[in-house]
């Protein structure tokens, strides 16, 4: 066989066959195989070609045979080349497919990575959002509660302020009326006192003048009588004795007149003393008024302290104004009372003192009452906000429990009586706790309950 | 959940740390008492528990899920099979209801949701028909009274400060159910029960916090007398809902994460971080409101010594809860001196133990 033909055959065999190891063949279940050599195959092909040529061509010459074989071989080489080209092309396609597959896997991995990234970001966002929403809701709830509480407090304070304003207005009106009445009464009384005083002075003066006049008249009469007696005495002793007697009588009359004058003088001195006493009493009353002024000042300071505690600035300011007005009124009273009669002024001052005390006490009582009422209301409001309700427990009655389910209990069937329940035992007893509780309660052994009420 | 019994101690102003005495109750066993009558009943949103003393003085705690499920009529005839499988049921008018834990198992099978008689700590307004179901569950847990009129203390939450609710209807119905079973019912604040259970060595003085699924209850007591008590309408369910919403995951998954091995001091994933965030928010919310209520309260006694804080309830079982609670408490600057924070020895049964103690005391 020619070497060139053998080489071509070898290439064709390699292109159209596969290598297998003996182990692979065994694995495929092949125990025996036919083995043929390349030379043998060439011989077979040559024999086949010769037969074909002989059959087709017949008695062809050696030259024709060689020509046919050569052409056939060339055709076979061409086919082999085409096949080799196709194999190469196929390998190229396989390589390309492999590359595309690698690229596809890489792209899929990238897609997976991006998708996971998106999921992570989404979860993070959701978490943040949920947290923010929870925070906002909590904040809104808190703000709403505070607003509601503040609105309630503001409304309560407003109502309280309104009520106190009305009370103060009423009090102002009453105080004004009272002041008006007192001023009028005072003026009338003072006028009366002045008139009385003037009359008294006039009476005293008239009395004094009358007494002096009487005294002078009596002296003049006595002198005249004495002169007459002296004239009569010159002529007649009896007349002189009668005249002496008349002179004695006149002297007695004169002494009586002097006594009367002295008495009038004493009464005048008494009137002066009373006037001095009256002035002293007025001074005393002025001191008392000053003391009361100090008391009013103390009340004012207490009022300021109470204002700080109660927090009702407007009300306190108005009360202070009232107090200062009362103060001024007292000063006016003091001035007006300076020129009055002793007893009347004393009565007037005492009356005014009582009224002032009453007014101050009344005002103080009124303020304390208002403050106490406000504090009590505040305390009740706080207690209402924080007080625990009284718990009342109502037990579902047998009737109610049966009515909950339409079918009466005796119409049901169950196997509960014949089944065991899962249970576990604990060696950790309750003796220590019970002993401690009994010792704590002094052995009274009452349970805690809910306010120690039964369930019903 | 880790449920470890850890205690966080606070350093006082003088630099001292409260004595370790308070750690002792977590380890020592209380002496046995003479067996007193009385039972405790914890009426919770997720679980109902009862506690009683047996003849030897040991405490027997029974638990049942507070749920029920109506199953299709075609299965209603297999009552014997349900009994053999220890599935409790009630039938009436050709309808069958499965009660308790079994209802959850069957719900998955029938593709239904269980029905809950209670929501957010109170009887559910949407499940009025469920009251008799709860009555059966309570009857199953309490059994017959040892003698007529045996005291039974049941816990109720305090009115919430952040939601319109009141205890009148809830307390009335539960009282009626317990009385109908032959007991003498009395109500007790849930957090107060924690104090009865856990603070015997501190003269029943301190702060008790019951961390439930529907709400957190708080009580500050001085020698057994409650000075401040209130509740907030947020609990484990609130955390689940918010975590599910912000993470875009189903609620059941959020619950599974929360009840898994998460530790609030070292979250590992973004979901766990969300759980931590909402736990801290809830704890801070409770403490801020406790501080405010304490400051506004009238007639509050003088607490001379630092007081202990005890937390209980299923929601407190998450890992790191005590540490986070202590951190948030220090931020709040509470008006009382705090000795330390610890979890109840058995957080799930602390409330019912407290009710039992109260009932046994009332028996005398």
Model confidence over A171-186: pLDDT tens digits? 889 888 988 998 898 8
Within-domain flag for A428: no
- At residue A456 the predicted structure's pLDDT band, cuts being 50, 70 and 90, is very low
Considering only CB atoms, which chain A residues are within 8 Å of B351?
Answer: none
Cβ separation of B59 and A394 shorter than 8 Å? no
Residues 95-124 of A with CB under 8 A from B: 120, 122-123
Give me the pLDDT at residue B3, please.
40
Q: Cα separation of B61 and B53, whole Å?
A: 9
Please check the confidence at residue A31 and state whether its pLDDT lies above 80: yes
- At residue A410 the predicted structure's pLDDT band, cuts being 50, 70 and 90, is low
Q: Cα separation of A341 and A197, whole Å?
A: 7
Q: Evaluate the CA torsion angle A54, A56, A61, A63 in order and state its sign.
A: negative
Within-domain flag for A158: no
Search chain A and give the residue with CA nearest B62: A423
- At residue A446 the predicted structure's pLDDT band, cuts being 50, 70 and 90, is very low
Q: Cα separation of B139 and B141, whole Å?
A: 5
Cβ separation of B176 and A423 shorter than 8 Å? no
Search chain B and give the residue with CA nearest A427: B58
- Testing the interface with A: which of B246, B270, B345 to mutate, by most A Cβ within 10 A? B246
The whole-chain average pLDDT of chain B stands at 85
Q: Domain boundary at A328, A355, A378, which?
A: A378
Interface residue B35 vs chain A (CB under 8 A): no
* Shared domain check, A205 and A318: yes
Give me the pLDDT at residue B246, please.
93
Within-domain flag for A153: no
Give me the pLDDT at residue B148, please.
93
* Shared domain check, A190 and A295: yes
pTM for the full predicted model? 0.51
Q: Cα separation of A239 and A54, whole Å?
A: 243
Which candidate from B128, B140, B248 shows the least CB-CB separation from A404?
B128
Search chain A and give the residue with CA nearest B297: A386
Considering only CB atoms, which chain A residues are within 8 Å of B362?
Answer: 445-447, 449
* A56-73 residues labelled b (16+ CB within 10 A) or e (exposed): eeeeeeeeeeeebeeeee
Which candidate from A130, A416, A454 shows the least CB-CB separation from B186?
A454
Collect all residues with Cβ–Cβ distance below 8 Å to B62 and sequence separation of at least 6: A421, A422, A423, B49, B50, B51, B140, B141
Domain that holds residue A299: 167-378
Interface residue A437 vs chain B (CB under 8 A): yes
- At residue A340 the predicted structure's pLDDT band, cuts being 50, 70 and 90, is very low
- Residue recorded with tokens 């001196």: B337
* Shared domain check, A39 and A181: no
Considering only CB atoms, which chain B residues are within 8 Å of A394?
Answer: 168, 172
φ, ψ at B337 (rounded to 5°) = -80, 130
* Chain A: closest CA distance from residue B213 (Å): 20
Regarding predicted confidence, which is higher, B318 or A310?
Answer: B318
- CA distances A286 to A291, A331, A348, Å, are 9, 9, 13
Q: Cα separation of A217 and B30, whole Å?
A: 130
Under 8 Å between Cβ of B363 and B36: yes
Lateral strand order in the sheet of A423-426:
A423-426, B59-65, B47-53, B39-43, B150-156, B183-189
Residues 365-394 of A with CB under 8 A from B: 386, 393-394
* Shared domain check, A258 and A353: yes
* Chain A: closest CA distance from residue B15 (Å): 30
Q: Domain boundary at A55, A73, A99, which?
A: A99
Give me the pLDDT at residue A344, please.
55
Q: Where in chain B is the domain with CATH 3.30.420.40?
A: 7-66+116-363
Under 8 Å between Cβ of B185 and B178: yes
Cβ separation of B173 and A416 shorter than 8 Å? no
Within-domain flag for A304: yes
Please check the confidence at residue B242 and state whether its pLDDT lies above 70: yes
Please check the confidence at residue B358 and state whether its pLDDT lies above 50: yes
| CATH number for region B7-66+116-363 | 3.30.420.40
Cβ separation of A427 and B93 shorter than 8 Å? no
Interface residue A132 vs chain B (CB under 8 A): no
φ, ψ at A259 (rounded to 5°) = -60, -45
- CA distances A94 to A11, A101, A104, A198, A351, Å, are 21, 10, 15, 150, 132
* Shared domain check, A363 and A232: yes
* Chain B: closest CA distance from residue A394 (Å): 5
The whole-chain average pLDDT of chain A stands at 74
Within-domain flag for A66: yes
Number of domains in chain A: 2
* Chain A: closest CA distance from residue B30 (Å): 5
* Chain A: closest CA distance from residue B9 (Å): 23
Within-domain flag for A105: no
Give me the pLDDT at residue B48, please.
92
Regarding predicted confidence, which is higher, A270 or B216?
Answer: B216
What SS3 class is residue B226?
strand
Q: Cα separation of A121 and B248, whole Å?
A: 13
Within-domain flag for A160: no
* Shared domain check, A353 and A229: yes
Interface residue A26 vs chain B (CB under 8 A): no
Collect all residues with Cβ–Cβ distance below 8 Å to B124 and sequence separation of at least 6: B116, B117, B118, B130
Name the strand (E) or helix (H) holding A95. Answer: helix A62-235
Which candidate from B63, B86, B361 shows the least CB-CB separation from A419?
B86
* Chain B: closest CA distance from residue A159 (Å): 26
Cβ separation of B53 and A430 shorter than 8 Å? yes
Q: Domain boundary at A82, A99, A116, which?
A: A99
* Chain B: closest CA distance from residue A456 (Å): 7
* Shared domain check, A191 and A95: no
Within-domain flag for A92: yes
Collect all residues with Cβ–Cβ distance below 8 Å to A71 and sequence separation of at least 6: none
Share of chain B above pLDDT 90, in %: 47
* Shared domain check, A371 and A275: yes
Please tell me whether the interface predicted TM-score (ipTM) of this complex is above 0.85.
no
* Shared domain check, A173 and A24: no
* Shared domain check, A372 and A293: yes
Q: Evaluate the CA torsion angle B232, B235, B238, B242 in order and state its sign.
A: positive
Cβ separation of A395 and B93 shorter than 8 Å? no
């Amino acid at each position: 066989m020619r070497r060139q033909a053998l080489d071509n055959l070898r290439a064709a065999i390699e292109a159209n066959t596969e290598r297998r190891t003996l182990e692979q063949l065994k694995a495929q279940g092949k125990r025996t195989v036919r083995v043929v050599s390349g030379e043998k195959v060439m011989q077979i092909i040559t024999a086949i070609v010769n037969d074909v040529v002989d059959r087709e061509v017949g008695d062809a010459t050696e030259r024709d045979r060689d020509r046919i074989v050569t052409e056939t071989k060339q055709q076979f080489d061409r086919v082999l080349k085409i096949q080799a080209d196709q194999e190469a092309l196929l390998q190229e396609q396989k390589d390309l497919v492999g590359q595309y597959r690698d690229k596809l896997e890489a792209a899929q991995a990238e897609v997976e990575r991006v998708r996971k990234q998106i999921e992570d970001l989404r979860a993070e966002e959701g978490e943040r959002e949920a947290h923010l929403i929870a925070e906002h809701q909590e904040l809104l709830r808190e703000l709403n509660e505070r607003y509601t509480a503040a609105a309630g407090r503001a409304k309560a304070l407003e109502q309280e302020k309104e009520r106190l304003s009305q009370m103060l207005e009423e009090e102002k009106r009453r105080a004004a009326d009272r002041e008006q009445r007192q001023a009028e009464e005072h003026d009338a009384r003072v006028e009366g006192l002045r008139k009385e005083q003037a009359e008294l002075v006039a009476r005293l003066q008239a009395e004094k003048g009358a007494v002096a006049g009487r005294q002078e008249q009596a002296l003049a009469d006595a002198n005249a009588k004495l002169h007459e007696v002296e004239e009569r005495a010159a002529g007649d002793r009896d007349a002189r004795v009668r005249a002496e007697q008349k002179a004695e009588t006149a002297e007695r009359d004169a002494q009586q007149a002097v006594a009367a004058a002295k008495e009038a003088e004493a009464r005048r001195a008494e009137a002066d003393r009373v006037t001095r006493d009256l002035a002293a009493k007025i001074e005393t009353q002025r001191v008392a008024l000053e003391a009361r002024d100090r008391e009013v000042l103390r009340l004012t300071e207490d009022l300021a302290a109470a204002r700080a505690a109660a927090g009702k600035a407007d009300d306190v300011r108005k009360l202070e104004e009232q107090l200062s007005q009362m103060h001024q009124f007292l000063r006016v009273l003091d001035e007006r009372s300076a020129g009055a009669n002793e007893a009347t002024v004393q009565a007037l001052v005492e009356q005014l003192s009582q009224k002032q005390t009453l007014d101050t006490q009344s005002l103080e009582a009124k303020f304390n009452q208002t403050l106490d009422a406000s504090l009590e209301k505040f305390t009740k409001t706080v207690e209402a906000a924080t007080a625990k309700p009284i718990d009342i427990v109502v037990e579902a009655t047998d009737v109610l429990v049966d009515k909950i389910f339409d079918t009466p209990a005796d119409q049901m069937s169950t196997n509960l009586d014949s089944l065991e329940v899962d249970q576990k035992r604990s060696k950790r007893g309750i003796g220590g706790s019970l002993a401690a509780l009994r010792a704590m309660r002094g052995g009274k052994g009452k349970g805690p309950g809910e306010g120690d009420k039964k369930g019903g | 959940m880790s449920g470890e019994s850890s205690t966080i101690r606070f350093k006082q102003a003088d630099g001292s740390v409260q004595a370790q005495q308070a750690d002792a109750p977590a380890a020592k066993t209380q002496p046995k008492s003479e067996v007193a009558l009385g039972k405790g009943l914890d009426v919770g949103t997720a679980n109902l528990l009862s506690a009683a003393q047996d003849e030897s003085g040991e405490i027997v705690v029974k638990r049942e899920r507070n749920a029920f499920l109506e199953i299709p009529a075609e299965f209603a005839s297999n009552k014997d099979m349900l009994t053999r499988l220890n599935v409790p049921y009630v039938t009436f008018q050709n309808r069958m209801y499965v009660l308790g834990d079994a209802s959850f198992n069957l719900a998955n099978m029938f593709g239904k949701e269980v029905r809950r008689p209670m929501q957010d700590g109170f009887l559910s307004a949407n499940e009025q028909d469920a009251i008799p179901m709860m009555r059966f569950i309570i009857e199953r847990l309490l059994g017959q009274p040892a003698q007529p009129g045996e005291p039974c203390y049941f816990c109720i939450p305090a009115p919430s400060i952040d939601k319109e609710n009141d205890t009148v209807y809830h307390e009335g119905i539960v009282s009626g159910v317990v009385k109908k079973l032959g007991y003498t019912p009395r109500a007790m604040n849930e957090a107060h029960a924690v104090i009865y259970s856990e603070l015997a060595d501190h003269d029943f003085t301190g702060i008790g916090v019951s961390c439930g699924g529907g709400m957190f209850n708080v009580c500050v007591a001085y020698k057994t007398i409650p000075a401040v008590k209130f509740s907030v309408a947020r609990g484990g369910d609130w955390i689940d809902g918010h975590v599910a919403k912000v993470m875009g995951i189903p609620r059941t998954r959020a619950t599974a994460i929360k009840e898994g091995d998460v530790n609030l001091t070292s979250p590992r994933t973004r979901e766990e971080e969300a759980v931590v965030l909402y736990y801290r928010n809830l704890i801070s919310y409770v403490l801020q409101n406790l501080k405010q209520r304490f400051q506004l309260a009238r007639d509050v006694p003088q607490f001379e010594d630092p007081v202990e804080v005890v937390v209980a309830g299923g929601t407190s079982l998450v890992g790191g809860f005590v540490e986070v609670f202590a951190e948030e408490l220090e931020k709040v600057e509470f008006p009382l001196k705090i000795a330390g924070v610890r979890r109840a020895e058995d957080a799930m049964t602390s409330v019912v133990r407290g009710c039992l103690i109260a009932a046994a005391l009332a028996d005398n």
